[in-house]
């Protein structure tokens, strides 16, 4: 349609023509937009033949084997050491087993009405065994600074350690106690620690070991 033809159109006809053009443009735009969405839609993956296998369960750590050991606590009146059965970790070799027993003795809670002979917070630095089956027990200095003192209480502390080792590991003969890697005269001023000590059965109550309570893990 040339310019002359447009000039000959009436205003009403021009409005209708403009409206028709707008509708056509709108329809073309809708068509292009729909086509764009269709092309951008990802193609669904093919259905797998079988569901994906679940991941394997996480491996659980094997349970640590345990053995029964005799630990020592003070009697209610504080006059005797009383043996009590407890479970401790099993370890390969005398040195490793001695360490496990000592750590259990240092940390053990006394079953009522017995009393712990070891100050809270006491810790082991190391264990060594000589060719003569003499065991050296190296304790952290905290056992000394936290000890309440008193000759009988000191005696109970020292021999709870000595008796626990020599009762459970009969191949060992004597225990030399060190503190902070050094030889010391005493723990709290009374018991001579300058020499190795043997098991003191005279301090131990003659009855057999007290079995663990039912709820002991």
Per-residue pLDDT tens over the stretch 10-45: 666 655 656 666 677 766 667 676 656 655 655 555
Inside any domain, residue 47: no
Predicted pLDDT of residue 1: 54
Inside any domain, residue 9: no
Do residues 70 and 168 lie in contact, with contact meaning Cβ atoms separated by under 8 Å?
Answer: yes
Do residues 175 and 164 lie in contact, with contact meaning Cβ atoms separated by under 8 Å?
Answer: no
Do residues 114 and 74 lie in contact, with contact meaning Cβ atoms separated by under 8 Å?
Answer: yes
Do residues 139 and 162 lie in contact, with contact meaning Cβ atoms separated by under 8 Å?
Answer: no
Predicted pLDDT of residue 63: 83
Q: Nearest Cα to 66, choosing from 43, 89, 85? A: 89
Q: How far apart are CA 138 and CA 140, in angstroms?
A: 7
Q: What is the DSSP string of 40-90?
A: HSPPPPPPPSSPPPPPPPPPPPPPPPEEEEEEEEE-TTSSSEEEEEEEEE-
Inside any domain, residue 55: no
How would you write the pLDDT of the chain (217 residues) with one tens digit per residue?
555 555 565 666 655 656 666 677 766 667 676 656 655 655 555 555 555 677 777 767 778 899 999 999 999 999 999 999 999 999 999 999 999 999 999 999 999 999 999 999 999 999 999 999 999 999 999 999 999 999 999 999 999 999 999 999 999 999 999 999 999 999 999 999 999 999 999 999 865 566 666 554 4
Predicted pLDDT of residue 36: 62
Do residues 167 and 205 lie in contact, with contact meaning Cβ atoms separated by under 8 Å?
Answer: no
CA 137, 202, 97, 133 torsion-angle sign? positive
Predicted pLDDT of residue 217: 46
Inside any domain, residue 131: yes
- Contacting residues for 186 by C-beta, under 8 A, at least 6 apart: 154, 192, 193
Pairing of strands 134-139, 174-179: parallel
Inside any domain, residue 36: no
Predicted pLDDT of residue 116: 97
Q: How far apart are CA 76 and CA 205, in angstroms?
A: 12
Domain that holds residue 128: 67-203
Predicted pLDDT of residue 79: 94
Inside any domain, residue 91: yes
Retrieve residue 79's tokens: 């006059």
Give the chain's domain count.
1
Q: Is 12 helix (H, G, I), strand (E, B) or coil?
A: helix
């Amino acid at each position: 349609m040339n310019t002359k033809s447009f000039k000959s159109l009436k205003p009403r006809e021009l409005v209708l023509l403009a409206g028709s053009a707008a509708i056509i443009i709108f329809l073309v735009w809708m068509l292009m937009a729909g086509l764009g969405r269709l092309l951008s839609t990802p193609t669904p993956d093919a259905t797998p033949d079988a569901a994906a296998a679940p991941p394997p369960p996480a491996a659980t750590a094997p349970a640590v084997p345990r053995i029964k050991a005799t630990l020592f606590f003070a009697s209610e009146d504080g006059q005797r050491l009383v043996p009590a059965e407890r479970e401790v970790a099993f370890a390969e070799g005398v040195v490793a087993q001695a360490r496990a027993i000592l750590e259990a003795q240092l940390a053990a809670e006394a079953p009522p009405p017995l009393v712990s002979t070891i100050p809270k917070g006491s810790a082991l630095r190391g264990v060594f065994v000589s060719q003569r089956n003499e065991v050296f027990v190296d304790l952290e200095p905290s056992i000394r600074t936290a000890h309440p003192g008193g000759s009988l209480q000191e005696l109970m502390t020292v021999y709870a350690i000595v008796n626990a080792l020599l009762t459970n590991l009969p191949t060992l003969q004597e225990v030399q106690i060190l503190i902070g890697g050094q030889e010391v005269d005493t723990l709290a001023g009374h018991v001579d620690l300058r020499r190795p000590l043997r098991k003191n059965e005279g301090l131990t109550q003659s009855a057999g070991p007290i079995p663990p309570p039912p709820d002991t893990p």
